[in-house]
Amino acid sequence: MTRARRALAVLATLAVAGTAAFLLLTRPASLPPGAIPATQQADLHNGEVMFHAGSCVACHKAAEGGPGADRGLPAGGFAFPTPVGTFYPQNLTPDPETGLGRWSETDFVAAMTLGVSPAGRHYFPAFPYAAYRAMKTADLLDLFAYLKSLPAVRAPARPHDVPVVSVASRGVGLWKQLAFRQPPYAPPPGRSASWTRGAYLTNAPGHCGECHTPKDLAMVADESRHMAGGPHPGEAGKVPSLRGLLAAKKYKSVDDLALALSAGEELGYENLSSGGMGAIQSNLSRLPESDLKAIAEYLLSLE
């Protein structure tokens, strides 16, 4: 073999090994057996609380004038612009052809906690499963039962307008290697029941850190700056810090912040309206008062 041919052979071997390593590293995961408990009486009220806490409809709302739009159903199709392109989050109603009608509980829990589709595709992290993976399985099953209880709307998914979707989608597997290195959020022990509830709602379904926690160069949440605010991940402008809200005299008390989360601009709380926060606030306004107070208690404890 000439030197050039030998070099080519080495390169080819390296390329094969590299591709194999890439495919292995980025292989979509699946749930371990036994991840879904066998019997579970669905609590639809709890499922609805999770639906609003997670602001599902903020991204999965129906396209303007599209099917389901008049009833505010999560029939999908509304444009969700991000720096990598425009997504059209899918139909979450139980239509068998175009929604979640044929999904199993395992399909749903795998989507929400592993970011993997029933066909084994990595979902883009514009779907905030990095936060949702901290949700309790029982809460996810209640949420799924709630979605299945909604009226079915026939609304085929509109393809995402994201360049190089197929390559990028496998690349998401690499991103997950970094992002999932951090364990899912778990509230620390030893706090009051309401603080613990607030911490869970904020960090798991609430996915508040998706905007309020700045990201590092690999676009992974930098938990050393948890809720410290920074550049907006989806558009121009900034997201405010949620630390030290009491010291900065932005809110007087837990009741004051709970009222702000529930009423927003309507009662003159101007700092909860722009940059996607208005949609979050209007979803939060549908939570029970005790949950809003729990979120407020947790937020005001962040120094």
**Is the backbone of residue 36 left (phi > 0), alpha (psi -120 to 50) or beta?**
beta
The smaller minimum CB distance to ligand HEC, of residues 54 and 68, is found at 54
| The token pair that represents 69 in the structure block | 């739009």
Three-point CA angle 114, 120, 122, nearest 5°: 55
Contacts with ligand HEC, residue ranges (CB under 6 A): 54-56, 58-60, 80, 87, 89-90, 92, 111, 117, 123-124, 126-128, 143, 202, 205-208, 210-212, 232, 239-240, 242, 250, 271-277, 280, 284, 295
- Nearest alpha carbon to residue 117 among 146, 150, 77, 157: 157
Cβ 12 to ligand HEC shortest distance, Å: 33
- Rounded Cα distance between 160 and 77, Å, is 10
Q: Are 299 and 257 in contact (CB under 8 A)?
A: yes
- Which residue number, 11 or 47, has a Cβ lying nearer to ligand HEC? 47
Q: In this complex, which beta carbon is closest to ligand HEC, that of residue 16 or of residue 79?
A: 79
- Which of 95, 107, 105, 112 lies closest to 50 in space, CA to CA? 112
Q: Shortest gap between Cβ of 267 and ligand HEC (angstroms)?
A: 13
Complex with ligand HEC: residue 12 or 138, whichever CB lies closer: 138
Q: Is the dihedral of CA 190, 287, 51, 173 positive or negative?
A: negative
For the CB of residue 227, give the shortest distance to ligand HEC in the complex, in Å: 9
Q: How far is the CB of 152 from ligand HEC (least distance, A)?
A: 14
CB of 7 to ligand HEC, least distance (A): 40
- The set of residues, in sequence order, having a beta carbon less than 8 Å from that of 90 and lying 6+ positions away, is 60, 76, 99, 157
- By beta-carbon proximity to ligand HEC, the closer residue of 152 and 284 is 284
CA-nearest of 164, 139, 138, 140 to 85 is: 164
Judged by beta carbon, residue 9 or residue 76, the one nearer ligand HEC is 76
Residues 6+ apart with CB under 8 A from 8: none
CB 34 → ligand HEC: shortest distance, Å?
A: 22
Long-range pairs for 243-252 at CB < 8 Å and ≥24 separation? 243/302, 243/303, 244/302, 244/303, 245/299, 245/300, 245/302, 246/300, 247/303, 251/296, 251/300
Between 152 and 280, name the residue whose CB sits nearer to ligand HEC: 280
Q: How far is the CB of 155 from ligand HEC (least distance, A)?
A: 11
Nearer to ligand HEC, 199 or 277 (CB): 277
Work out how close the CB of 162 gets to ligand HEC at its nearest, in angstroms, rounded to a whole number.
Answer: 8
